[in-house]
A and B are shown apart, each in its own frame.
Chain A
Amino acid sequence: MGIKISAASALLMNEQQGDRNMEMKPKELRKKKIGMQAIAELKAIVYIVPFLIPFIIFYLWPVLRGGWISLHVWNIQGMQRYVALDNYKRIFENSDFYKYLWNSFYFVLICAPTVIVLGLILALIINQRIWMRTLIRSVYFLPYVMSVSVMSFIWLKLFDPKNGPVNALLGLLGLPQDINWLTDHRFVWWAITIATDWWTVGFVMVLFLAGLQEIPQDHYEAATIDGAGAWSKFWYITLPGLSRVMKIQVFYQVISCLKLFGQVQIMTGGGPGDSTNTMIRYIYVTGFKKDMFGFASAQSIVFCIIMLLIAVIQFKLTDRKNGGE
């Protein structure tokens, strides 16, 4: 990130240099300008190199190789034969693809809004000067430190229909029948959402907290003098003040929800049936369990393009809202 910024500022510096050279003679000036530009460009590239090398090795090369594999029948014994775009054709002809793609998006629709709203509420509470603020903040952030497997196993036990604490609590509250959280179509997505929200809400909260602390206090003071209530302050000062953070949050949550894999793999195994099978798990099963790496690579590429499109659309939308700045 920092490297990219320095590259951008190098470009900027280059522009300023150009302005200073305006007084020189045209021919001399052009020569000098080109020279300076080349050096600046070169510098910029050098600055980017530390990022570029790992990026090429760990991201670009695997994607290119994935693209190559996706054009073949490829299994544990290696490349079998070239099939051109057959794998891609098979993806779109298979109804499972659309089902699991929808599942991935469905999770975005239920998980991203809930976790953002919960995170915002928590941040607002903790931003008050309340007792044991640091402790409470740490407690909420703590689950985020866990790995997805640990978190999923905890919730697998919590949601156990017969011996799980969740049903025991609901029973105490008067619920007549045990809920089969992980094997009932009606509840399974909510179970995964609850687990994921619990896991990630701390991170969302911390980002909002940072955003809240950036909003100048005098805005609120001015609003108080003008007689604004708590709701108007929230609506006209806090929310707009958080818009930058909110943009990042939405962007990040959408992408990370689309990547859902660990929770369903451990808690439901994609079940009941294939009700919670997501795109990533579909790719995993196709490649690693069914030994069809060519087909799985094609699925990865398609899903990757879909995610990129979403990212671009999202960026365009939020960019426009901000007046194209």
Chain B
Amino acid sequence: MLAKKKAGIMLTAGMALTLALSGCSSNNNGGTNEVANNKANEQNTGSKSSKAVEITFWNMFGGGEGDFVDQIIKGFNDSQQEVVVKQLRLESNEYYAKLGTALSSSKGPDVAVAHVDRISPFVKAKQLVPIDELATKVGFDLGQISSSNMESVSYDGKPYAVPLDTHFHMFYYNKDILKKANLLNADETPKFDTMSPEGYLNTLAQIKTAVPDVQAMAVNTPYFQEPFLNMYYEAGGDILSADMTKAAINNDKALSVLKFYDEIYSKQYADINDKNPWDTFSNGKAAFWFGGVWEAGVLLGDTSKHIGAMPLPAIFGSQTHWGSSHTLVIPSYVSAEKQEAAAKFMKYFSEVGGQTWGKAGHVPANSNVTSSDEYNKLPYRSFFIEAQKTVKFAPQTDNYTTIITTISEVLQNVIFHNESPEDGLKDMEKQINEILAN
């Protein structure tokens, strides 16, 4: 009887262990919001000869630029017979969790998009291949790409990625709403109060009074780190100290930016519950929007939307604002044959796709593209080139992924009032210092 009972206990314990363990390990796929977007490619696959090398391309282009990437991939697949690109589009908030896992487990994309500020740990872990020799092999002259972009992806003198663009935020405005609020100049630019946080809030108040059924400003609440960093950089702030050993974020500048946004939410100029502010603005339900250049194709391409763009106004004093750069990388586990195929795709994306990419709104890194007439004829592009001059890139640290995730998390707590701005900044400082110390 006792033996039976013991066996019973063991059995239950075993079952419990199994359940508990699967709790630790499983369910990670729960967060996948993967949208395999292969429609365009599938049509081509059928007609290709069986010799064609098929490569998988991972990206996170879920914003307005998605359609343009589809066009580039289709263009590439149609232009030649040797390589077929299939893409997997992943949700951007989870992208690096997946890419990092793929790179460490040697199973995943043959070519992938990565932001310039995220590649350094991958390079140091030897998970990416240098692309100079591959470029020569497929006749891709890296000299076309602007030297500052090239430097940002070089380690020990070797380039590990092909920079595609520089991207940042622009100030988009809805002309119809501004007209109703009597805030549109004759040249269709917005009429601002004095250029200061108070002045900007006054403008929002005027819009709210005149057009109460829209948001005066759509704020990117789900990715709040972006609007925060834009204003914080304008105010002259930094994430890290100059020697990159300490957090430099707990200061009055950050506090004033947080209070500025809190006022925007609390006075209901913006709706904090809006989970898709980009759609809200695009559908004409908000007057202002700090939106990515990558949305330009959608927002400015359709003139019936009556949307205008300008560089972010210097609300907090300077024109400095957040910026980053998309690059293409090839993981080291990819076979030589596929590496070469991927390099061909990179060449096409930069040289030919660059024009399409420019239409999406990013400022292409390929200088042949930016100096072309075709690019410069696109609407508002002179503003883009102007705004590009004042971008501030992420601090060059291997820990950027960890740091920016920490910042995003604490910011969410602050804007939803789980933490006061003061405590939030203290918390951020403490966590970042811990990350840097480790």
Contacts and interface: CB of A to CB of B under 8 A. Distances in A.
A200 interface: no
Classify the secondary structure of A's interface with B. Answer: helix
A59 interface: yes
B16 interface: yes
A76 B413 contact: no
A221 B73 CA distance: 72
Contact of B100 (A76, A269, A280): A76
Contacts of A76: 100, 103-104, 121-122, 125, 127
Contacts of B405: 285, 289-290
Residue from A76, A153, A261, A280 with most neighbouring chain B CB atoms (10 Å) = A76
B71 interface: no
B120 to A, nearest CB: 10
A308 interface: yes
B11 A4 contact: yes
B144 interface: no
B416 A269 contact: no
Given A76-B104, A291-B100, A255 B20 contact: yes
A258 B409 CA distance: 22
B307 to A, nearest CB: 21
A305 to B, nearest CB: 9
A134 interface: no
A8 B96 contact: no
B30 A148 contact: yes
Contacts of B28: 261, 284, 288
B29 A291 contact: no
Contacts of A290: 401-402, 405-406, 435
A217 interface: no
Interface string B413-424: 111111100000
Given A77-B125, A273-B413, A291-B100, A280 B27 contact: yes
A77 B121 contact: yes
Given A77-B121, A273-B416, A280 B23 contact: yes
A11 B7 contact: yes
B121 A4 contact: no
A303 B23 contact: yes
B273 interface: yes
Contact of B16 (A77, A256, A291, A315): A315
A243 B366 CA distance: 71
A77 B23 contact: no
A261 B402 CA distance: 21
B412 A289 contact: no
B413 A289 contact: no
B100 A304 contact: no
Contacts of B27: 148, 259, 261-262, 280
B403 to A, nearest CB: 9
Nearest to B18: A59
A271 B412 contact: yes
Nearest to A255: B19
A245 interface: no
A224 interface: no
Contacts of A284: 28, 31, 97
Contacts of B125: 76-78
Interface in A151-190: 152-153, 160-161, 180, 182-185
B21 interface: yes
Contact of B23 (A12, A161, A259): A259
B17 interface: yes
A114 interface: no
A273 B121 contact: no
Contacts of A270: 412
B136 interface: no
A244 to B, nearest CB: 13
B121 A8 contact: no
Contacts of A241: none
A180 B273 contact: yes
A8 B412 contact: no
Contact of B30 (A149, A256, A275, A292): A149
Given A11-B3, A274-B409, A304-B24, A75 B121 contact: yes
A62 interface: yes
Contact of B33 (A59, A80, A149): A149
A149 B401 contact: no
B13 interface: yes
Contacts of B272: 183
A4 B27 CA distance: 27
Nearest to B124: A77
A4 B31 CA distance: 35
A323 B363 CA distance: 74
Contacts of A184: 273
Nearest to B127: A76
A274 B401 contact: no
Contact of A311 (B13, B399, B438): B13
A291 B20 contact: no
Interface in A299-325: 300, 303-304, 307-308, 311-312, 315, 324
Q: Which of A66, A73, A266, A269 has the most CB of B within 10 A?
A: A269
Given A265-B31, A274-B413, A289-B96, A308 B12 contact: no
Contacts of B4: 8, 12
Contacts of A149: 29-33
Contacts of B7: 4, 7-8, 11
Nearest to A153: B33
A156 B33 CA distance: 12
B267 interface: no
Contacts of B64: none
A207 interface: no
A4 B12 CA distance: 11
Contact of B416 (A7, A153, A183): A183
A262 B104 CA distance: 23
B273 A271 contact: no
A324 B8 CA distance: 11
A107 to B, nearest CB: 13
A240 interface: no
B130 to A, nearest CB: 17
22 contacts: A4-B11, A4-B14, A73-B438, A76-B121, A76-B125, A80-B438, A183-B272, A183-B275, A255-B23, A261-B27, A273-B416, A274-B409, A274-B418, A280-B23, A280-B27, A283-B24, A284-B97, A288-B28, A288-B100, A303-B24, A308-B17, A312-B16
Given A78-B125, A280-B23, A308-B16, 6 more contacts: A11-B7, A265-B30, A274-B409, A285-B405, A290-B435, A308-B13
Interface of A: 4, 7-8, 11-12, 15, 55, 59, 62-63, 66, 73, 75-78, 80, 148-149, 152-153, 160-161, 180, 182-185, 252, 255-256, 258-259, 261-263, 265-266, 269-275, 280, 283-285, 288-292, 300, 303-304, 307-308, 311-312, 315, 324
